């Protein structure tokens, strides 16, 4: 049992990777569509490259979106609106009008013309309310037919037959003149206007209900293809009705309800493909990025980003499939390049795009656009911490999307009239969303404890609290660190290492000297040497201790592990040779191990560069009268000694790169000492 527990403990990193692999595969398979996948690509405007295709089952031919839209518009244009006719209002208006006649007209007039006036008012109101009075005017074309609802009956009438309130005055004036009542015009108009009120209103609810009913009854199919019928022959151009039939077959195939057995096989097939894709990514990391593969946090971060992009794309596709290009997929290679490197970022991006091909429509077009955009992202984005670079790169990515999409439309349609402006808008929105990469990188740094160039840029500020404290407590060490930072940055640029990381590591590598600053020669301002009162062994321990103290100070100030690595490795496992030599003079049996730094030795190009630059810069202060030849020999001697001690065995730096670093250090030191060519006398 104890052996099993020990084995489990030793292989916990491997078991975690297996668990992460399985969990990621399950989540991605869960997000994939569970219908069947149509096995043919439908190349619009191109010859059919497969064998003759026959209908595997009966299916209906779907109308195109344009046909459905045109049919709906025709229904809307021909739809007859409904108006409510209130039958109570005419009777009430007539009654009120007759009462108004007695109010408005004097008794002397009524004694002679009462019956005539009453008959005229009654006749006129009957004519007005024959089809009703509408408050609004000119809502529809005069010849437009409408339905007039009187109770449960609907009568079809022309819109012009309904009186409009705005036209009543002219109608009444004409009727009064025709009847010869000009002398009573004012009184009659007063009677009508005091009594008349609209009784016809637009019934929007019923109109819309009827319209929706007609729209819902639209048939989305036209005709049927019987099983066994030939759909298309090999070499036949896919266009027009053939294209619509093939799209109908694809839609029918993918929408079929599968049995439990079929469903399980589909899940099994998806699982194999997803596992295969993720396995390729793990194998790539194990072979070419082993340091990342060994770090479970980094592997988790990469898998998390893949799941995040798949989930985001799935949500957008479910919401509205036309917005699929709004998803800023290029954030994935941008983020991975910021934390790791371009090659891993592009490989992960391609794997993710292949997985997304199961989710999106027109998968070939989508994958082509996204892979091209990913390549452009990797090639164009450099020094992400510079805001201008990010904006320029996002502009280039968006332009590539637009050009690629334009080319696909031209190939598929053979014309540009079908281009949709809203698609280009989605590309612009996707480009703007890509700018979110900077705050996202900040969030990732806090969650996963990773370090990007943007954080390194902040740490390189010499006005930071820790570096200002170093400048106050150990000014000589601070000046030394600045010189080493300049040398390390130049050397890193020369061999294409991470120059920003090398510079930041150099700035902080000696912060441990703040603990006992006067025990280090660069901080001694008087002729008194603190080591004179100590034994060589005690002096060596104080010198060695600055590495341990530096690590403690760095952790207390929350410096990233990548920066702390420079503090741990900048002396490797070398010895404090000066005090070891003094101890040997006193005790011939002195052990070199007591004067050796704890290590580890450098394990990256950047930490190896720092070791070289630190040793050369510190030792260069001992040169009395430096010459060009003296500096060349001096640099060669120091770095060759480090190589002989095996300090660079784990740092993945080549002999050629070491020679390039030597060349840079020689040139920089000559510039520092202002050496010139010695002219003959």
Give alpha helix (H) positions in 179-325. Answer: 185-195, 204-216, 240-255, 260-288, 290-294, 296-319
Residues with Cβ within 8 Å of 34's Cβ and at least 6 positions away in sequence, in order, are: 258, 263, 266, 267
Mean pLDDT is lowest, of 408-422, 434-448, 660-674, for 408-422
Phi/psi of residue 37, each to 5°?
-110, 120
- Structure confidence at residue 108 (pLDDT): 75
Distance CA(131)–CA(149), nearest Å, equals: 10
**Helix, coil or strand: residue 85:** strand
Distance CA(230)–CA(242), nearest Å, equals: 11
Count how many Cα atoms sit within 13 Å of the Cα of residue 544 in the half-sphere of its side chain. Answer: 22
Written as six digits, the tokens of 168 are: 């009543």
Q: Are 628 and 670 in contact (CB under 8 A)?
A: yes
Token pair 């890509």 is at which residue? Answer: 434
- Structure confidence at residue 674 (pLDDT): 62
- Structure confidence at residue 37 (pLDDT): 63
DSSP state for residue 560 in the 8-state scheme: -
Distance CA(455)–CA(443), nearest Å, equals: 12
| Per-position b or e across 642-674, b if 16+ CB within 10 A of its CB | beeeebbebbebeeebbebbbebbbebbbeebe
Q: Which helix (H) or strand (E) holds 223?
A: strand 221-225
Q: Which of 45-49, 72-76, 280-284 has the highest mean pLDDT?
A: 280-284
pLDDT at 492 > cutoff 60: yes
Name the β-bridge partners of 200.
85, 134
Written as six digits, the tokens of 611 are: 């070791």
Cα 165 versus chain centre, distance: 58
Question: Helix %, strand %, coil % for the chain, to 5?
Answer: 65, 5, 25
- Structure confidence at residue 659 (pLDDT): 94
% of the chain residues with pLDDT over 90: 24
Q: Are 43 and 49 in contact (CB under 8 A)?
A: yes
pTM attached to this predicted model? 0.66
Token pair 């409904």 is at which residue? Answer: 82
Token pair 């893949």 is at which residue? Answer: 306
pLDDT band (50, 70, 90) for residue 560 = confident
**Helix, coil or strand: residue 646:** coil
Q: Are 487 and 599 in contact (CB under 8 A)?
A: no
pLDDT at 670 > cutoff 90: no
**Helix, coil or strand: residue 243:** helix
- Structure confidence at residue 610 (pLDDT): 94
For residue 53, CA distances in Å to 62, 225, 239, 247, 669 come to 18, 12, 15, 13, 76
Does the bond joining 600 to the residue before it have cis omega, within 30 degrees of 0? yes
% of the chain residues with pLDDT over 70: 93
Q: Are 500 and 456 in contact (CB under 8 A)?
A: yes
For residue 585, CA distances in Å to 33, 351, 578, 653 come to 79, 64, 11, 37
Q: Are 391 and 398 in contact (CB under 8 A)?
A: no
pLDDT at 493 > cutoff 50: yes
- Structure confidence at residue 679 (pLDDT): 47
Q: What digits encode the pLDDT tens for the residues 417-442?
A: 767 778 888 888 888 888 888 888 88
Q: Are 12 and 220 in contact (CB under 8 A)?
A: no
Note the CATH number of domain 453-672. 1.10.3210
For residue 540, CA distances in Å to 167, 409, 544, 575, 577 come to 110, 74, 6, 9, 9
Average pLDDT over the chain, rounded to whole?
A: 84
pLDDT at 379 > cutoff 50: yes
Count how many Cα atoms sit within 13 Å of the Cα of residue 118 in the half-sphere of its side chain. Answer: 12
Written as six digits, the tokens of 51 are: 């064998």
Mean pLDDT is lowest, of 71-85, 392-406, 490-504, 584-598, for 584-598
Higher pLDDT, 19 or 242: 19
β-pairing verdict for 200-202 and 82-85: antiparallel
Count how many Cα atoms sit within 13 Å of the Cα of residue 660 in the half-sphere of its side chain. Answer: 17
Query: From the CA atom positions of the chain, what is the Rg in Å?
Result: 43
pLDDT at 257 > cutoff 70: no
Rounded to 10 degrees, the C-alpha dihedral 112/113/115/119 comes to: 170
pLDDT at 313 > cutoff 70: yes
Q: Which of 131-140, 155-164, 587-596 has the highest mean pLDDT?
A: 155-164
Q: What digits encode the pLDDT tens for the residues 25-56?
A: 999 998 887 766 666 777 777 777 777 888 87
Mean pLDDT is lowest, of 37-46, 128-137, 190-199, 664-673, for 37-46
For residue 189, CA distances in Å to 113, 130, 196, 367 come to 16, 20, 10, 76
Distance CA(327)–CA(317), nearest Å, equals: 10
Mean pLDDT is lowest, of 544-553, 643-652, 668-677, for 668-677
pLDDT band (50, 70, 90) for residue 384 = low
Q: Are 199 and 86 in contact (CB under 8 A)?
A: yes
DSSP of 104-164, one letter per residue?
A: HS-HHHHHHHHHHHHHHHHHHHHHHTSS-EESS-SSS-TT-EEEEEETTEEEEEEGGGSEE
Q: What digits encode the pLDDT tens for the residues 321-372?
A: 888 888 999 899 989 988 888 899 999 999 999 999 888 877 888 899 999 9
Higher pLDDT, 256 or 597: 597
- What are the structural domain ranges in the chain? 2-34+260-448, 82-202, 453-672
Phi/psi of residue 28, each to 5°?
-65, -45
Dmax (CA) of the chain? 153
Distance CA(105)–CA(631), nearest Å, equals: 126
42 burial type by CB count under 10 A (0-12 exposed, 13-18 middle, 19+ buried)? middle
Average confidence (pLDDT) over 542-569: 91
Name the β-bridge partners of 596.
575
């Amino acid at each position: 049992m104890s052996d099993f527990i020990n084995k489990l403990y030793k292989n916990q990193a491997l078991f975690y990777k297996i668990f992460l692999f399985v969990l990621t595969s399950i989540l991605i398979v869960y997000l994939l569509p569970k219908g069947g996948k149509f096995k043919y690509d439908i190349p619009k405007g191109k010859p059919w490259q497969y064998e003759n295709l026959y209908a595997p089952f009966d299916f209906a031919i779907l109308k195109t979106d344009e046909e459905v839209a045109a049919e709906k518009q025709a229904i809307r244009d021909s739809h007859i609106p409904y108006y409510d006719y209130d039958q109570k209002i005419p009777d009430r208006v007539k009654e009120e009008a007759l009462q108004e006649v007695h109010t408005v007209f004097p008794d002397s007039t009524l004694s002679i013309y009462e019956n005539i006036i009453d008959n005229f008012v009654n006749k006129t109101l009957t004519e007005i309310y024959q089809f009703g009075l509408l408050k609004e005017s000119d809502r529809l074309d005069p010849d437009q037919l409408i339905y007039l609802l009187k109770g449960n009956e609907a009568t079809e009438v022309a819109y012009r037959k309904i009186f409009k309130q705005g036209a009543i005055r002219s109608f009444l004036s004409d009727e009064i003149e025709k009847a010869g009542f000009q002398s009573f015009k004012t009184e009659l108009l007063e009677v009508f206007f005091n009594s008349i009120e609209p009784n016809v209103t637009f019934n929007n609810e019923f109109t819309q209900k009827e319209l929706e009913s007609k729209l819902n009854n639209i048939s989305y199919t036209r005709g049927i293809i019987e099983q066994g019928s030939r759909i298309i022959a090999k070499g036949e151009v896919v266009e027009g009705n053939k294209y619509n039939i093939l799209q109908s077959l694809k839609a029918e195939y993918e929408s079929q309800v599968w049995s439990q057995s079929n469903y399980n096989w589909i899940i099994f097939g998806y699982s194999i493909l997803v596992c295969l894709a993720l396995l390729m990514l793990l194998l790539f990391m194990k072979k070419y990025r082993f340091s990342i593969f060994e770090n479970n946090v980094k592997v988790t971060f990469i898998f998390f980003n893949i799941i995040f992009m798949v989930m985001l794309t799935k949500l957008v596709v479910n919401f509205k499939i036309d917005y699929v290009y709004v998803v800023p997929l290029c954030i994935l290679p941008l983020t991975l390049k910021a934390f790791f490197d371009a090659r891993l970022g592009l490989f992960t991006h391609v794997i993710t795009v292949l997985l997304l091909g199961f989710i999106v429509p027109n998968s070939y077009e989508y994958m082509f656009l996204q892979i091209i955009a990913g390549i452009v992202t990797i090639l164009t984005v450099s020094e992400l911490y510079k805001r201008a670079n990010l904006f320029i790169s996002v502009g280039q990515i968006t332009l590539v999307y637009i050009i690629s999409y334009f080319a696909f439309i031209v190939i598929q349609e053979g014309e540009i009239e079908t281009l949709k402006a809203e698609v280009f808008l989605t590309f612009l929105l996707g480009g703007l969303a890509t700018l979110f990469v900077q705050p996202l990188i900040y969030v990732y740094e806090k969650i996963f404890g990773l370090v990007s160039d943007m954080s390194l840029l902040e740490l390189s500020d010499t006005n930071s609290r820790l570096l200002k404290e170093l400048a106050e407590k150990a000014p000589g060490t601070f000046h030394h660190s600045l010189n080493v930072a300049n040398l390390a940055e130049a050397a890193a640029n020369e061999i294409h290492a991470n120059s920003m990381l090398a510079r930041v590591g150099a700035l902080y590598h000696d912060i441990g000297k703040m603990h006992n600053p006067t025990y280090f020669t660069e901080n001694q301002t008087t002729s008194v040497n603190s080591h004179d009162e100590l034994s060589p062994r005690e002096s060596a321990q104080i010198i060695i201790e600055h590495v341990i103290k530096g690590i403690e100070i760095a952790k207390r100030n929350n410096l990233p592990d990548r920066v702390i690595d420079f503090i741990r490795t900048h002396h490797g496992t070398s010895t404090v040779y000066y005090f070891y030599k003094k101890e040997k003079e006193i005790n011939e049996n002195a052990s070199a191990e007591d004067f050796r730094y704890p290590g580890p030795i450098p394990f990256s190009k950047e930490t190896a560069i720092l070791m070289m630059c630190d040793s050369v810069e510190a030792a260069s202060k001992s040169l009395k009268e430096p010459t060009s030849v003296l500096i060349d020999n001096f640099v060669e001697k120091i770095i060759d000694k480090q190589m002989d001690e095996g300090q660079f065995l784990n740092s993945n730096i080549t002999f050629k790169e070491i020679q390039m670093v030597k060349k840079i250090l020689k040139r920089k030191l000559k510039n520092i000492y202002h050496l010139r060519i010695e002219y003959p006398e």
